Amino acid sequence: MGKPPQIPVEKKTRIVLSVLAGEVTITEAARREKVSEQSIGRWKADFLEAGKTGLASGRSGPSTREEQLAAEVEDLTQALGEAAVEIRVWKKSAEGRLGPSRTSR
């Protein structure tokens, strides 16, 4: 007997979701995908267990991407603040050499 077909995770997910939604039975899905009913049953059990684990852990904090974006916003905010200070210093320095500016009246 040959090696069973390698099915991508995305396809397994679609198969399991269609079984859970009642669109197809495990038997129909197994026949259509040319895999055993036990395989689809195992995928379904794994899917449901991972869902329970996800709910139990309660990812209430920010995702990794959100943390990266927050750090980037913080860095950019700091850089903007530093640039604003530099501009003020340059303006004050220029006023000292050129006299008061028209906008400072």
The answer to whether residue 104 scores a pLDDT higher than 60 is: no
The number of distinct structural domains making up the chain is: 2
pTM for the full predicted model: 0.51
Judge whether 4 lies within some domain.
no
pLDDT in tens, 47-62: 999 888 878 776 666 6
Examine the domain organization and report whether 78 and 96 are in the same domain.
Answer: yes
Residues 43 and 73 in one domain: no
Residue 2 located in a structural domain = no
Residues 22 and 53 placed together within one structural domain of the fold: yes
Q: Is residue 37 part of a domain?
A: yes
For residue 92, what are the domain limits? 64-104
Q: What is the DSSP string of 68-99?
A: HHHHHHHHHHHHHHHHHHHHHHHHHHHHHHH-
Residue-level pLDDT at 19: 95
User: What are 21-30's pLDDT values in tens digits?
Assistant: 999 999 999 9
- Cβ pair 7, 33 in contact under 8 A: yes
